[in-house]
């Protein structure tokens, strides 16, 4: 069966090493290819902007002193068209000011060089963190996660950074709460992906971690206020309201989204019904976080479920956020064989693969059939990733509700690497 095939990846040290080498070489090749693409070398002088281009544009405006303008879509669209030399895609800016500070240094680098440094640094941090958590299951997780890693590299997004931060929370929550709290606080760059982890820390009374996270958020917010002025927060909140309206009207490339909202909306349901569906899924995801400790799941398994459902809470979640799902999968794998049947494991692996691969394959199909600037709204493309994650959530809830025996607590970082 499918589960047996994937689990055979780790059947021997030599086979594990071979698969790891293959995946890492493939990822390096994609990074190199996309570096040329972002740098506009060769035949890519006339290309549409991608996510890292947006990061670079914002970085430039940090130093120009008009950062608040990037939160106004009409002004940002003009900036993007200027950078693209013409038409560009739909890329509103809704990141908190803390992320503006993070990307600011890239203004001093060409786009291609900045992309290479950002992607290689965050990918390396993510892989080191994933390896520390996964241990001997590292090769299996890499194979299952490969499509999600490839698409994150392709657009130059920050999924590796957020995945690594959540991974650091998991590695340190037992014995270095201050470090776990620092990593969780740094998730202020994408706060909607930290909701589940915050709830888990609250449920398990990790007060030092929660206090440290709150301090990081407050201090970084104060720094942003001092640097950019109070108006930056008004501009940011205005951008969030504007993006909610854009989401309701379906302006985003919803087929790349992995949320229940996107899945239901693209299936033809009205936006109001799709939002209620998203609310129900978010509630079920938070219930999964609560059930872990209640049903006597081990710290490792409960954390794994928490991380996996983190990407299911917000209606605004993309396939490039899926590296976080790999952290959760690595945490639950050691116990999955005894808690889930072979069929259930096959379904879990397959759903993770589908969620990561669908947007990649669909983007490729649209580009081949209709050109690089194909509009998915004109050529119907459903949001299958959202349905895959809803099914995955049902499976995780089923495992938790089935009941578990108490297991050892989360091991030390050193033990996890054995």
Which string of DSSP letters, residue by residue, matches 141-160? HHHHHHHHHHHHHHHT-SHH
The whole-number pLDDT of residue 353 equals: 94
Task: Tokens 């799941």: give the residue.
Answer: 297
pLDDT(379) > 80: no
Predicted confidence band of residue 297 (pLDDT cuts 50, 70, 90) = confident
Q: pTM value?
A: 0.91
Name the nearest CA neighbour of 147 among 349, 358, 328: 358
Whole-number pLDDT of residue 373:
55
Distance from C-alpha of 183 to C-alpha of 188, rounded to nearest angstrom = 9
The residues, ordered by sequence, that sit 6+ positions from 394 with a Cβ below 8 Å of its Cβ are none
Are the C-beta atoms of residues 322 and 159 closer than 8 Å to each other?
yes
Say what percent of the chain tops pLDDT 70.
91
Asked if residue 49 lies in contact with residue 88, where contact means CB atoms within 8 angstroms, the answer is yes
pLDDT of residue 407: 40
Q: E strands, 59-103, where?
A: none
H helices present in 85-230, as ranges: 97-103, 111-134, 138-155, 159-172, 177-186, 195-203, 207-228
Q: Residue 367: its pLDDT value, please?
A: 63
Whether the predicted pLDDT of 418 surpasses 60: no
Q: Which residue has the higher pLDDT, 164 or 402?
A: 164
CB 19 within 8 A of CB 142: yes
pLDDT at 253: 86
Closest by Cα among 416, 418, 400 to 408: 416
Residue 363's pLDDT band (boundaries 50, 70, 90)? confident
């Amino acid at each position: 069966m499918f589960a047996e095939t994937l689990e055979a990846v780790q059947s021997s040290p030599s086979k594990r090493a071979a698969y790891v080498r293959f995946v890492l070489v493939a990822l390096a090749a994609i990074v190199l290819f996309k570096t040329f693409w972002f740098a506009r070398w060769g035949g890519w002088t006339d290309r549409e902007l991608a996510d890292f281009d947006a990061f670079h544009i914002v970085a430039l405006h940090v130093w120009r002193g008009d950062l608040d303008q990037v939160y106004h879509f009409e002004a940002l669209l003009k900036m993007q068209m200027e950078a693209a030399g013409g038409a560009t895609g739909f890329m509103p800016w809704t990141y908190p000011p803390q992320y503006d500070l993070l990307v600011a240094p890239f203004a001093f680098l060409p786009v291609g060089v900045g992309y290479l440094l950002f992607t290689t640094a965050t990918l390396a941090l993510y892989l080191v963190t994933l390896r520390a958590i996964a241990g001997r299951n590292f090769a299996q997780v890499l194979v299952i996660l490969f499509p999600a890693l490839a698409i994150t590299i392709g657009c130059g997004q920050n999924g590796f950074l957020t995945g690594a931060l959540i991974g650091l929370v998991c590695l340190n929550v037992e014995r270095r709460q201050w470090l776990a709290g620092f990593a969780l606080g740094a998730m202020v760059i994408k706060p909607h992906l930290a909701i589940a982890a915050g709830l888990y820390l609250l449920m398990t009374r990790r007060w030092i971690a929660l206090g440290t996270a709150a301090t990081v958020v407050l201090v970084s917010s104060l720094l942003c206020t001092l640097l950019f002025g109070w108006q930056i927060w008004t501009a940011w909140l205005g951008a969030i309201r504007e993006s909610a309206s854009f989401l309701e009207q379906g302006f985003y490339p919803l087929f790349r989204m992995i949320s229940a909202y996107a899945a239901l909306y693209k299936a033809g349901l009205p936006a109001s019904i799709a939002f209620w569906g998203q609310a129900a899924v978010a509630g079920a995801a938070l219930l999964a976080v609560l059930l872990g400790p209640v049903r006597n799941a081990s710290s490792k398994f409960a954390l794994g479920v928490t991380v996996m459902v983190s990407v299911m809470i917000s209606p605004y979640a993309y396939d490039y956020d899926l590296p976080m799902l790999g952290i959760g999968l690595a945490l639950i794998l050691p116990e999955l064989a005894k808690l889930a049947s072979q069929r259930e494991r096959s379904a879990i692996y397959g759903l993770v693969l589908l969620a990561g691969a669908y947007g990649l394959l669909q983007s490729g199909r649209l580009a081949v059939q209709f050109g690089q600037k194909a509009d998915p709204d004109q050529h119907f493309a459903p949001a299958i990733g959202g349905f895959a994650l809803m099914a995955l959530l049902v499976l995780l809830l089923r495992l938790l509700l089935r009941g578990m025996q108490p297991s050892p607590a989360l091991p030390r970082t050193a033990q996890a690497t054995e």
